[in-house]
Amino acid sequence: MTRKQRRLLMIGSGLGVLALAAGLVLNALSDSIVFFNSPTDVIEKHIATGTRIRLGGMVKDGSLVRGDDLRISFTITDGANEIPVSYRGIVPDLFREGQGVIAEGRVEPGRTFRADSVLAKHDENYMPREVADALKKQGRWQEGEGKGHGGAAAAGAAR
């Protein structure tokens, strides 16, 4: 084997190992790369109690209940499944029933969710890209909804 062939073999082997390592890292991080999980994702993946996730979907009409000490309970739905959420704190001004929302917190026993932060849409046309995509998959998306989703607006709302 000539020097040139050995060098090409070493370079090819190095690139192969690098590609394998990158594939393994991306596979390991695939669950944490997701911006949020829909209620259907939480149910189908059997996410363990105590796991910290972001739960996204629409606030179900008629489910919003405000209690004492800034306690709020509501239900997040993706049209197919729904998960009850409890939260204590101040919600964004535009948080209301029928709107897109992402709650960050922990899965509790009995398939409930305890949120420690709640993000809502920032204007009448905004909907997080992932929520819009999930609604399209469910067949609940109607053209003209969420014209301003994605881009810098989505990045700004997530902060």
Give just the sign of the alpha carbon dihedral 88, 91, 96, 98.
Answer: negative
The tens digit of pLDDT for each residue in 102-159 reads 999 999 988 889 999 998 865 555 567 777 787 788 777 665 544 444 443 333 344 3
The tens digit of pLDDT for each residue in 3-51 reads 999 999 999 999 999 999 999 988 887 766 667 888 988 888 888 888 8
Spell out the domain ranges in the chain: 1-33, 35-157
Contact status, residue 50 vs residue 107, Cβ threshold 8 Å:
yes
Identify the pLDDT of residue 145.
47
CA dihedral 146, 59, 112, 107 (to 10 degrees): 30
Determine the topology of domain 35-157 in CATH: OB fold (Dihydrolipoamide Acetyltransferase, E2P) (2.40.50)
Identify the pLDDT of residue 34.
62
CA 56 to chain centre: 5
Residue 57 or residue 142, greater confidence: 57
Identify the pLDDT of residue 151.
40
The residues pairing with 54 across neighbouring beta strands, listed in sequence order, are 104
Q: Which long-range contacts (CB under 8 A, 24 or more apart) does 20-29 make?
A: none
Contact status, residue 42 vs residue 107, Cβ threshold 8 Å:
yes
Identify the pLDDT of residue 12.
95
Identify the pLDDT of residue 16.
96
